[in-house]
Structure 1
Amino acid sequence: MNRLVRGSDGRDWVIRAQMEWRRPATADDFEHDVAANYTPGVAMLVVALALGTVLLVWMPEDVVVPSWVPLALVLVALFFPLRWVLRRPWTVVAETDGDVTGERPSERWVGTVVGILKVRGEVHRVGKSIQKHDLPDFDGPLHPVE
């Protein structure tokens, strides 16, 4: 997602957002980010599929399954993957090369926004702030990077 914004001082800013597959490591998360591998998740998936297969194979023939039960099972199975997709962190970057005269230097602001639904609004707010104040808002998620 890219957006071009012109500040009132004449500088052109490029605002872009990119989805991250993993949460960025911060100093607060250092000791808790110890996920060894995906083996427990794969094992639980195999166990769930095995139990579901056993349930279907051993079900008596005279049992009537309502039509909403398979739909409910699909919704339950899709809950966590859908939640994972909707809660991915996005890196938002606002940068400019400066102006032609050299009075205003180049700048780069970087921040993280969690959730695909919040990213679009944050990019819009950063664009409005740049158009009005020539800089992203200091109270927002973006911070200047040297």
Structure 2
Amino acid sequence: MSRKVFDLYRREWILRRSIEWRPPYNEAEQFEHDVDGGRGAAIFILSSLLLMWIVFFFWLPQNAHFPWFFWLIIIVIIGFFPVRWVLRRQWKVVAETVGAYDQPAERWQGLVRGWTRSNDEMKIIKRQLETQGTPGHTDSPLQPMN
């Protein structure tokens, strides 16, 4: 997602955010990752779960009937973790300008956890640029990169 914003000094800034596919190294959260089995373990668990569901449906009697809420529960269970993953994933927020003849180019970048928080941070940065001329503020995750 990208949007153009003009700051207090009429410079054009480009605000964008993108999902981070690889989590950065974070010392505070290292305890969660020291027992991580990696992709191999995740693929094994998901494939065994899929195999279990296939065997379950092939061994059903032909006249077995499942109510509609059973299918709804299955969809909610299957969809919970991907939706949670997208909503809790880290997003990279970038604010950059090419500069002008009297002002240098700037690039600010930071990581924000969660889709809604990254959306809120984009709104805060837009408001900061329009009122103060800089994307950084006191509690901002953005840091100057140049």
TM-score (norm 2): 0.80
| Deviation at residue 42 of structure 1 after TM alignment | 1.8
Q: Per-residue CA shift, 1:82-135, capped at 9, x if unaligned?
A: 2112222211111223332x2x33222111122222222211210110110111
- Mapping of 1:1-146 within 5 angstroms? 1-28=1-28, 33=33, 35=36, 37-60=38-61, 63-100=64-101, 102=102, 104-136=103-135, 137-146=137-146
Q: Specify whether residues 106 and 72 from structure 1 end up closer, same or farther in structure 2 by C-alpha distance, changes over 3 A only.
A: same
More helix as a share of residues: 2
- Indicate the percent of aligned positions where both proteins have the same amino acid: 32
What letter corresponds to residue 110 of structure 1 in structure 2?
Q
Tell me the distance in 1 between the aligned counterparts of 2:17 and 2:69: 39
Tell me the distance in 2 between the aligned counterparts of 1:31 and 1:75: 29
Q: Per-residue CA shift, 1:43-95, capped at 9, x if unaligned?
A: 21232223323333444556542221122112101111121122222111112
* Stretches of structure 1 lacking an aligned partner (at least 5 in a row): none
Classify the secondary structure of the residue corresponding to 1:130.
helix
Tell me the distance in 2 between the aligned counterparts of 1:57 and 1:3: 50
Classify the secondary structure of the residue corresponding to 2:38.
coil
Classify the secondary structure of the residue corresponding to 1:38.
helix
Q: Specify whether residues 106 and 27 from structure 1 end up closer, same or farther in structure 2 by C-alpha distance, changes over 3 A only.
A: farther
Classify the secondary structure of the residue corresponding to 1:69.
helix
Tell me the distance in 2 between the aligned counterparts of 1:145 and 1:81: 32
What letter corresponds to residue 2 of structure 1 in structure 2?
S
Note if contact 1:10-1:99 (Cα within 8 Å) is conserved in structure 2.
no
